[in-house]
Amino acid sequence: MLNPGDQAPIFQADSTQGDINLADLLGQKPIVLIFYPMDETPGCTKQLCAVRDAESEYAERGPSCLA
């Protein structure tokens, strides 16, 4: 488990915006990575609603957001 501020390992993954490669994004601007435990669960819904509700706070910091 990573803690806030820890460096994420380099990875490639599918996203809602197509394939992403973390190495391609490093050094450009802050990056927000959001993972959740499983679709269709109360925890997932609560977590992702909190992310949605904090969208303006993320935007103020100018990150790349990938889902």
Catalytic residue among 44, 49, 50, 67: 44
Q: Is 9 left (phi over 0), alpha (psi -120 to 50) or beta?
A: beta
Residue 58 falls inside a structural domain: yes
Residue 60 falls inside a structural domain: yes
Domain total of the chain: 1
Rg value, the chain, Cα: 13
Residue 36 falls inside a structural domain: yes
Residues 7-66 have pLDDT tens digits of 888 999 887 778 889 899 888 888 877 777 777 888 778 888 888 898 888 888 887 655
Q: Indicate the pTM of the whole model.
A: 0.57
Alpha-carbon gap, residue 64 to 34, rounded angstroms: 11
Residue 1 falls inside a structural domain: no
Residue 53 falls inside a structural domain: yes
Whether residue 44 lies in the annotated active site: yes
SS3 content of the chain, % helix, strand, coil (to 5): 35, 15, 50
Residue 46 falls inside a structural domain: yes
Residue 16 falls inside a structural domain: yes
Question: Domain residues for 32?
Answer: 12-66
